[in-house]
Amino acid sequence: MTQERHKHDPIEAALRAGHYSEASPAETPTTGDLAAWIEAPDESATHVEALLARDADLRSVAVDLRLHGFTDGPTVGPDLRGRVHALMPAPPPVLARIGAWAAAAAAAILLAIGGWHLGSGDADVRSLGTDTVAAAAFGVQDGSDEYSALLLGAQGTVQ
């Protein structure tokens, strides 16, 4: 009779079915948390134990590792090893790396020089022309002697 009662016990039936009410989201353990628990089960790691209580597959992994430990696999062929090695690409040869950096640096310097030349040349022409018009029309000019000389020269040229 005792066994019959337990056989039809709805609580035990729910436990066997893993029928749990919805629980509030718990802190999700990291791989490191799980690995640490597998090496030394810790009752205070409630987030790990709560996850294991819910996840039958993960629990199976943890229990299997706890009870039976690790087993090494068969020898692995060169093809599979090569596939896995190739996931981390090898760096280019040293000279090639230096050459690439040198080329990049030279290009940057050339661009800087070219940009400076273009910028400084345009500025002189633009400002001279603009200020010549300003000087002729409004008598406005920069106070520096050199600048005035340029302006007078331009005005003469304009005429």
Partner 1 sequence: MEFDQEACIRGDAEAWTAFCDETIRLVVASIRRVCPSGRTPHGEDMDDLVQAVYIKLLKNDRRLLRNYDPARSAVSTWITLIARSVAIDALRRRSLDARPIDDAAGAVAGPPRTAPTGPAIPTHLLTARQQLVLSMLFEDEMDVADVAAALGVSPQTIRSTKHKAMERLRAHFQASDAGDDPTRPDVEPEDRT
* Relative orientation angle of helices 145-158 and 94-138, to the nearest 10 degrees: 70
CB 125 to partner 1: min, Å: 50
Closest CA to 33 of 60, 58, 70, 7: 58
- 40, 94, 95, 137: residue in contact with partner 1 (rule CB under 8 A): 40
String marking each residue 107-136 x if it binds partner 1 according to CB under 8 A: ------------------------------
- Does position 92 bind partner 1 by CB under 8 A? no
- Does position 84 bind partner 1 by CB under 8 A? yes
- Does position 93 bind partner 1 by CB under 8 A? no
- 25, 43, 120, 125: residue in contact with partner 1 (rule CB under 8 A): 43
Backbone torsion region of residue 72, taken as left when φ is above 0, otherwise alpha when ψ lies between -120 and 50, otherwise beta = beta
CA distance 116 to 112: 6
Chain centroid to Cα 119, Å, comes to 37
User: Dmax over Cα atoms in the chain, in whole Å?
Assistant: 125
Site for partner 1, rule CB under 8 A: 1-2, 5-6, 10-21, 23, 30-32, 34-36, 38-41, 43, 46-50, 52-54, 56-67, 70-76, 79-81, 83-85, 87-91
